[in-house]
Amino acid sequence: MALFTLVSGSVGVVTLQNPPVNALSAAVRHGIVDMMDKALSEPEVKSVVICGQNGRFCGGADIKEFGKNMTGPPLVPMIHRIESGAKPVVAAIEGIALGGGLELALGCHYRIAHSKARLGLPEVHLGLLPAAGGTQRLPRLIGVPAALELITTGRYVTAAEALRLGMVDEVTDGNTVDAAVKLALSVAGKSLDARRISNYPCPQPPGLDRFFETAMQQVRQSARGAMAPVACVQALRAAASQPYGEGMQREKELMDTLFHSGQARALQYFFFAQRAVGRWSTPSGSRWDSSKPRPVHKAAVVGLGTMGRGITVALAQAGLSVVAVETHEKQLMEARQAVSGMLERGAKRRGVAPAYGKISYSSDLLPVADVDLVIEAVFEDMELKRSIFEQLSEICKPDTFLCTNTSGLDIDRLASHARNPELVVGMHFFAPAHVMKLLEVVYGPRSSPQAVATAMLLGRKMDKVSVAVGNCPGFVGNRMLKPYLEQAFFLLEEGATPELVDQALEEFGFAMGVFRMSDLSGLDVGWRVRKADGLVVAGASTGPSARSRRGFRYSPLGDLLCERGRFGQKTGSGWYRYDKPGGRVAKSDPWLHGFLEQYRADHGLAARRVDQQEVLERCLYALINEGFRILEDGIAAGPEDIDVIYVLGYGWPRHRGGPMFYATTVGLSEVLERLEHHHRAHPDVPGLQPCRLLRKLVASGSPPVHSWREFIKKSRSHL
């Protein structure tokens, strides 16, 4: 819908009305076309302002319409009609002008933005390109290099940057629509020849061919198999080398290919999945819409190691007062410095003042007495955490929420040491905690709905996507990692190398293969967990018991490397070697290859050829299978939760939608069949045994991923 009003006697104001973001649905497009026709035909209207209802200009095309039979006036001719009209049109940009919304504004003759507005062309994140003229008008307006950067990254700019770049004509702190009306009055009747961007020549970057070859190389490297960024470069090249009309034709052709691609479907699924996880529920019936969070103004972080420092920064940047506690004086001093540096860099990036004043430091727990919420972030040791929870229960106000940052310890056990177990939840942050977008909020059987709601909201305030998950070893993310890692180890035993496994996973789109990732995060982390689980048997490096635990296949390879002090990057060697401890560049290690050969010889294992397809099937399907088990157990409420966790926390390629969505693109029956095949070959590996839920879904005709929640609910209620 769009509303027309006549103001100041001669300015027609067209207001887009489609809450919450005024997306350009068919009804809105109809409204704009009708209201513009009215404005352009009525003689008393001399100029026009386009704005959006409720302080938001426009969030772009209506993504919900994609994939359906699209009706209504198309965007390109609609915007062309505005630009080519005889009356000046001013875009009054408040809040957001994104995607098609910015393209609409670029079709207007003038643009005024409110100082708090954000502008951008984020289509690339949806597997698309700005196909309503964005790839052709923006470079004509701000030059090819700047447009290329904005379009291929989908980055938003502030109003101030938009003004610097020349995307807008004016920025105001006052009422944007009033300012736009004033401008519209002043330009009524003036020539529009110099205001139609499509008429501008596109400034050519020097060395056009070289410029685009380099750009394409860079984009291909960072895109990791995503098609949209590559298509964006192609469209920009057309803008720089062809007349506007031909450039538009190229934009359309490229969009046609992207629009129907699996990648676009995956990325659009992921867009909605990130929002769906906010509508959380637990098996006991707590829900996002019936659980009221309590306000948190002051929080404490206990333990200022790497994670605690990041959490402190995230809380301070979210505007909370933070008491940062570290009992070791030296560590406290180092942490103060590190936190200040992180705050400074963050503030510089965001163009704000560093939030130093939000943090007070302490070497004892007493100042946490009046905080609303504590995040304990000490070393992953149950005894240590238990003793801190007991102390916190003594010191804190009775209603203080007690949260623990843990990647897998039992929340319920910890809660049993708190005065009020219902106020205890887990908050699993990912390193670096002030940067990574993901937060697993772990509820135990005793966590109150309010505690879960409060932790979820706090995560959002820290600019994270919070996902509520149940309590089990490893929660969702690390629990699924276990069978994935296990398969990678088994593949080494059977003849693969770390390089081969990593290459297969990186070509699939992971930022890092499993071995490179283990080297980065430290092999000792998993070793500690396996030791705690009683899986590491000293002196069992040969003999029949070495490769079996509790009747199932086990690979001690990771343990053997750790016994030799090879913890990964930090020690200068792991699955790869590095120039020095802390080195970052992984190099193939002849020692490791020799070690693997000797290991196979010691265990009577014949190396066979492992191909990339087998790596993908064994590692990824085992991980997906565990995902189905997690759904079956009610640890995650829906596939979206798992997919968001894997994309935002574990480097799963976004353009593949997440593991559960990916399973639907492969075909659930294919995943089932391949798991059965691999399980037949490795009957002593339970991770490869297809789980019940997967079988049930296949038997029910493999319903689409968005209907799994209902399916799971129904199949539970039948039990």
Ligand X SMILES: CCCCCCC[C@H](O)CC(=O)SCCNC(=O)CCNC(=O)[C@H](O)C(C)(C)COP(=O)([O-])OP(=O)([O-])OC[C@H]1O[C@@H](n2cnc3c(N)ncnc32)[C@H](O)[C@@H]1OP(=O)([O-])[O-]
Judged by CB under 6 A, the stretch of 122-130, 402-410, 527-535, 543-551 that binds ligand X is 122-130
What torsion, rounded to 10 degrees, do the Cα atoms 59, 60, 66, 72 define? 120
If DSSP states are collapsed to H, E and C, what string results for 192-258? Answer: CHHHCHHHCCCCCCCCHHHHHHHHHHHHHHHHCCCCHHHHHHHHHHHHHHCCHHHHHHHHHHHHHHH
Judged by CB under 6 A, the stretch of 59-67, 310-318, 339-347, 500-508 that binds ligand X is 59-67
Count residues near ligand X (CB under 6 A): 27
Tokens, residue 356: 């130093």
The residue (of 120 and 690) whose beta carbon lies closer to ligand X is 120
Please give the distance of CA 538 from its chain centroid, rounded to a whole number: 40
The residue (of 156 and 662) whose beta carbon lies closer to ligand X is 156
Regarding 100 and contact with ligand X (CB under 6 A), the answer is yes
Q: Which of 13, 75, 457, 481 binds ligand X (CB under 6 A)?
A: 75
Judged by CB under 6 A, the stretch of 99-107, 303-311, 486-494, 701-709 that binds ligand X is 99-107
What torsion, rounded to 10 degrees, do the Cα atoms 59, 60, 64, 65 define? 150
Give the gyration radius of the chain's Cα atoms.
28
Regarding 23 and contact with ligand X (CB under 6 A), the answer is yes
**Whether the Cβ atoms of residue 453 and residue 265 lie closer than 8 Å to each other:** no
Q: Which of 59, 229, 638, 658 binds ligand X (CB under 6 A)?
A: 59
Site map 150..189 versus ligand X, x via CB under 6 A = ----------------------------------------
What are the phi and psi torsion angles at 62 (to 5°)? -80, 105
Q: Give the H or E element holding residue 177.
A: helix 176-187
**With left for phi above 0 and alpha for psi between -120 and 50, is residue 33 left, alpha or beta?**
alpha
The residue (of 248 and 377) whose beta carbon lies closer to ligand X is 248
Residue with tokens 């080398």: 241
Q: Which of 11, 45, 48, 61 binds ligand X (CB under 6 A)?
A: 61
Q: Which of 110, 211, 244, 259 binds ligand X (CB under 6 A)?
A: 259
Is 127 strand, coil or helix?
coil
The residue (of 59 and 310) whose beta carbon lies closer to ligand X is 59
Regarding 624 and contact with ligand X (CB under 6 A), the answer is no
Contacting ligand X within 217-256 (CB under 6 A): 255
Q: Which of 94, 103, 502, 559 binds ligand X (CB under 6 A)?
A: 103
Judged by CB under 6 A, the stretch of 97-105, 178-186, 219-227, 282-290 that binds ligand X is 97-105
**Residue 594 exposed, middle or buried by CB count within 10 Å (0-12, 13-18, 19+):** exposed
Regarding 99 and contact with ligand X (CB under 6 A), the answer is yes
Residues annotated as catalytic are 103, 123
**Residue 107 exposed, middle or buried by CB count within 10 Å (0-12, 13-18, 19+):** buried
CA dist 170 to 93, 101, 112, 198, 528, Å? 10, 18, 5, 20, 58
Contacting ligand X within 490-549 (CB under 6 A): none
Listed residue (45, 80, 18) closest to 2, CA to CA: 18
Regarding 96 and contact with ligand X (CB under 6 A), the answer is yes
Listed residue (253, 299, 486) closest to 400, CA to CA: 299
Regarding 62 and contact with ligand X (CB under 6 A), the answer is yes
Q: Which of 83, 123, 614, 626 binds ligand X (CB under 6 A)?
A: 123
CB of 453 to ligand X, least distance (A): 17
Site map 348..367 versus ligand X, x via CB under 6 A = --------------------
The residue (of 20 and 174) whose beta carbon lies closer to ligand X is 20
CB-based contacts of 699: which residues, under 8 Å, 6+ apart? none
Regarding 64 and contact with ligand X (CB under 6 A), the answer is yes
What are the phi and psi torsion angles at 559 (to 5°)? -65, -40
Regarding 275 and contact with ligand X (CB under 6 A), the answer is yes
**Whether the Cβ atoms of residue 664 and residue 704 lie closer than 8 Å to each other:** yes
Site map 125..144 versus ligand X, x via CB under 6 A = -x-x-xxx-x----------
Judged by CB under 6 A, the stretch of 54-62, 238-246, 337-345, 393-401 that binds ligand X is 54-62
Q: Name the residues that contact ligand X, by CB under 6 A.
A: 20-21, 23, 59-64, 75, 96, 98-100, 103, 122-123, 126, 128, 130-132, 134, 255, 259, 272, 275
